[in-house]
Structure 1
Amino acid sequence: MDEDFAVKEAYARQLLERYSQWLSRIEQVDRQEIDGVARELSAMLSEEDSALHGNVMRSIGELHEKVTEMLWISEHMKILHDLSHIFAKTFEESQILWKAFELVSRVMRADAFFIAFYDEGDSEIRIPISIDSGINYGPITVPYGQGMISRVIDTRQTIHIRTMRDEPSEPEMIRWGSPEIDTNTCIFVPLMLGNQVKGVISAQSYREFAYKKEHEELLKIIGFQVASAIETARLYKRVYQMSFQDELTGICNYRAFHNDLEKLMSEGRSPIVLIMLDSDNLKAVNDQYGHHSGDELIRRIAEALKACATGDDTVYRYAGDEFMLLSPGATLEEAEEKVRAIREHLRKRPLVQDDCHIPVAVSVGIAGYPGDASTADGLKRAADEALYRSKRKGKNCTTVYGTA
């Protein structure tokens, strides 16, 4: 009897040590290990003791689940903080999408992952990022109207596939990961921005039953942040582009001119020809026919410049009725030929106002880098000086700086 008691006492001590270890590392405990010990002892204890021990085991199991959940929520909150921090600093769509994948992978299996975008009325769905085993196979497009992505967009509802054994065998629903292995657990969440569906975010695993309800909620929040960040990035890009574009004519403006000229010179491009062009009769048109006709004259000059630009040429409305044409690699003779083409284009397309044909006349100055100047400002001053000389000659003529 004493020997039997000693054996039970030793076993009890082992159990207490095991329980102590569980409590010290509760988040790492295998729930199956807890259940196994409970089953093992239920056959050895009295009914009353077995019930008490069962309560202890359930309490340890519940503690394990709560601690695991708290740790997951903590990591979840860190991810949302990291996403907000990253998205506040970048306006590059590719960086936003890749960072979203990296951070999602921190708290859930993402053997396969994609983000798809859709604009209402489009016939295709764009998938800029489609990752399998860490490799991005995007960008790709899929037809709108069929498959899982279209279903999520149409219904605005999350789809959670826990195992493919319970799903119909539709190819477009299954083959999201490796061509050799089907994903078994998939979550497809609509990207919502206000009341608009912007697309779908999806995480998938080759394991069955890999995700919980919490993972759906995480993807919803991340999806909203991604949609917001992409919308902000696109707005920033439009505003940025507008800051370099002339609103009246649609061509580049003076900011773009200085930016492009400095860039050409920093890249060592040579030669560079600058054509500076100015209207001769804008004031007269404004005074006689009104500013709407003056605006049309400015647009007519811009159209002529665009029509006659070749190769790497770029045209700019610098200010008022003053225009620039940058022509890297051109000779002064080629620049003069461009000006003749511009004059001919304008000659054939006069303004028509009150049945009157109004010719569009321009004065032009031409200068070259490095022959006429060694800096961007120097090149602009040389072309401006040549243009001034054209005006003094009687307007509607061209002056090359070095030959004036």
Structure 2
Amino acid sequence: MHEGFSDNEVYARQLLERYTHWLSRIELVDRTELEATSREIKTELSGIDSDLHGRLLQEIGALQEKVSEMLWMSEHMKILHDLSHTFAKTFDERQITWKAFELVSRVMRADAFFIAFYEEGDTEIQIPISVDSGINYGPLMIPYGQGMISKVIENGETIHIRTMRDEPSEPEMIRWGSPEIDTNTCIFVPLMVGKQVMGVISAQSYREFAYKKEHEELLKIIGFQVASAIENARLYERMYQMSFQDEMTGLSNYRAFHRDLDKLLAKNNPVALIMLDSDSLKSVNDHYGHHLGDELIKRIAEAMQAVATDEDTTYRYAGDEFMLLAPEATLEEATEKASAIREYLRMHPLVQDNCCIPVTVSVGIACYPYDAATGDSLKRAADAALYSSKRKGKNCTTVYAVG
């Protein structure tokens, strides 16, 4: 006993020193140490003193938990920051979903994991990635309207199942994969774009009570990043595809022509090029206005689409110049296609003020590898044949002749 102090006072001073030490390193305080001290206080102190110290220990415990959560989130926010940079550099949906799985596995236990996508009005939900024990069982398609995924999509709310004893009545809809072992803790988070739910992200563990509230919040943040990245990827894909399409006719454009021609020639297989040019666009524009000139261009595109097979690709190359690529087509087949296009136009003239306005085209045909060895020389050969059709009086087809 210290001189002038009672045993209780000495013990209280020791407690205060212990509290000061804990507060100086609050993030390192051991919960078991707090619990042991709490039991010790009940033995050593009594009455008001015991209650006061008990409440103080509770406050220290709450502070320790809060600081630990903040440090935990701070550490994982660095990973999330890295993820946002990764997502900003890619527009590949498959890469985005796999990166999301890698990140979730770094910040929480993810014995099973999936991402599901849904578009309003669809009857099925798409699951591109469904990992269980390191094996991807995706892609999968499941019916919309039943199970946990549909429930999250419909309600737009997170579901956190802490143990299978709390599990709803659709166990078969929670996960897919190895039947030997099932998950016991599951978090389902909606993927939100604005107020619209575009899917669900889920992390699951074989253990019960594997996740805390902060895991749930972290998965929400990851889900938001995934949803934003996927939305940007799809927007990019739409814009990319639009860059290869002619807005007026819906045909592919000159960029797509050169891209597709290069791909076809890289296979070293025969391909026929049919080049068409309007015979009367300028006169139609001059006499009837550009509106009818636009209709003439659309009518030629319509004729090409009506004749083209599934293997063929049609292009509005520039102005009133059109291309048709016919892989594996013989010269005779290409000539028949050109004749069919011209016949379609003959049967479908433009009509203005009860007057029929004929739509005719001049056509040139060249074939790879018989008429040319490269894409540029093939285009020049078809162009030369088209020019011959113009010189012959238009509204006819000319096949390129070497030499």
TM-score tier by shorter-chain length is 0.7 to 0.9
Q: Does 1:287 align with 2:290?
A: no
Match of 1:199 in 2: 199
1:78 aligns with 2:71: no
Cα RMSD of the aligned pairs, angstroms, is 3.2
Unaligned runs of 5+ in 2: 1-21
Alpha-carbon separation, structure 2, partners of 1:134 and 1:29: 35
Alignment-derived partner of residue 349 in structure 1: 348
Give the letter aligned to residue 161 of structure 1. I
Q: For residues 213 and 396 of structure 1, what CA distance do their matches in structure 2 show?
A: 75
CA distance in 1, matches of 2:124, 2:178: 23
Give the whole-Å Cα distance in 2 for the aligned partners of 1:269 and 1:315: 20
- Comparing 303-312 with 61-70, greater Cα deviation is found at 61-70
Cα shift at 1:240: 0.4
Please give the per-residue CA displacement for 1:324-378, whole angstroms capped at 9, x wherever unaligned: 1122322323221221122222222222222222222110111222333222222
The separation in 2 between residues aligned to 1:245 and 1:169, in whole angstroms, is: 49
Aligned residues: 378
Partner amino acid for 1:331?
T
Task: After superposition, give the CA deviation of every residue in 1:50-90 in whole Å (9 maximum; x if it has no partner).
Answer: x9x99999999789757754553243112211211111111
Task: Please report how far the alpha carbon of residue 143 of structure 1 lies from its aligned counterpart in structure 2 after TM superposition.
Answer: 2.9
After TM superposition, the structure 1 = structure 2 runs for residues 306-325 of structure 1, keeping only pairs within 5 Å, are: 306-310=305-309, 312-325=311-324
1:398 matched residue in structure 2: 397
Aligned amino acid, residue 398 of structure 2:
T
| Alignment check: 8 A CA contact 1:269 1:328 kept | no
Q: Return the alpha-carbon distance in structure 2 between the equivalents of residues 198 and 190 of structure 1.
A: 8
Residue 269 of structure 1, CA deviation: 1.9
1:20-99 matches, within 5 Å, as 34=33, 69=69, 72-99=72-99
Counterpart-to-counterpart distance in 2, 1:368 and 1:143: 48
Q: What code does the residue aligned with 1:328 have? A: P
SS in 2 for 1:128: strand
- Larger mean CA deviation between 381-390 and 92-101 belongs to 381-390
Which whole-Å CA distance do the structure 1 matches of 2:117 and 2:312 have between them?
35
| Contact kept in structure 2, 1:38 and 1:54, CA below 8 Å | no
TM-fit CA distance, 1:396? 0.7
SS at match of 1:105: helix
Cα offset, 1:387, TM superposition: 0.9
How big is the shift at 1:397? 1.2
**Residue identity in the other structure for 2:335:** E
Which stretch has the larger CA shift, 163-172 or 183-192? 163-172
Counterpart of 2:384 in structure 1 is 385
Displacement of 1:26? 10
Structure 1: distance between partners of 2:150 and 2:330: 55
Aligned to 2:375: 376
Distance 1:400 1:140 in 2: 50
Match of 1:371, SS?
coil
C-alpha distance in 2 between matches for 1:372 and 1:39? 94
TM-score, length of structure 2 as denominator length:
0.82
1-structure distance, mates of 2:281, 2:96:
48
Contact 1:72 1:107 in 2 (8 A): no
Alpha carbons of structure 1 residues 174 and 381: separation in structure 2 relative to 1, 3 Å = closer
Change (3 A) 1:111 1:328: same
1:101 has 2:101 as partner = yes
In structure 1, what is the Cα distance between the partners aligned to 2:138 and 2:96? 14
Q: 1:247, 1:254 → 2: CA distance? A: 12
Matched, 1:181 2:181: yes
Decide whether aligned partners of structure 1 residues 194 and 350 sit closer, same or farther in structure 2, where only a CA change above 3 A counts. same
Aligned to 1:229: 229
Deviations 1:127-148 (A, max 9, x none): 2222211222222233333322
Query: Which residue number corresponds to residue 358 of structure 2?
Result: 359
Instruction: Report the identity percentage.
Output: 75
Q: Which moved more, 1:102-111 or 1:72-81?
A: 72-81
| 3-state SS, counterpart of residue 398 of structure 2 | strand
Q: Is the 8 A contact 2:137 2:177 kept in 1?
A: no
Corresponding residue number in structure 1 for 2:12: none
CA distance in 1, matches of 2:384, 2:140: 53
| Structure 2 partner of 1:300 | 299
The 3 A distance-change label for structure 1 pair 368 and 28 is farther
Contact 1:184 1:207 in 2 (8 A): yes
Distance 1:307 1:133 in 2: 51
Answer whether contact 2:147 2:174 (CA < 8 A) is retained.
no
CA contact (8 A) 2:372 2:378 kept: yes
**1:124 has 2:113 as partner:** no
The residue type equivalent to 1:205 in the other structure is: S
Counterparts in 2 of 1:220 and 1:168: CA distance versus 1, 3 Å: closer
SS for the counterpart of 1:249 is: coil
2:255 is matched with 255
Within 2, Cα distance between the matches of 1:223 and 1:195? 14
CA shift, 1:94, in A, is 0.9
Q: Secondary structure at the match of 1:188?
A: strand
**Counterpart amino acid of residue 289 in structure 1:** Y
- Provide structure 1 residue ranges, at least 5 long, that are not aligned to the other structure: 1-21
Counterpart in the other structure of 1:142: 142
Provide Cα deviations, 1:133-182, integer angstroms capped at 9, x if missing partner: 12222222333333222222232221111111133443345555643333
Work out the CA distance in 1 between the residues paired with 2:191 and 2:332.
Answer: 57
- Counterpart contact for 1:159–1:187, Cα < 8 Å: yes
State how far apart, in whole Å, the 2-side matches of 1:301 and 1:282 are: 11
Aligned to 2:160: 160
Higher mean displacement: 86-95 or 358-367: 358-367
Distance of 1:128 and 1:224 partners within structure 2: 18
**1:394 CA drift (Å):** 0.5
Q: What secondary structure does 1:352 align onto?
A: strand
Asked if the contact 1:274–1:379 (Cα under 8 Å) also holds between the matched residues in 2, the reply is yes
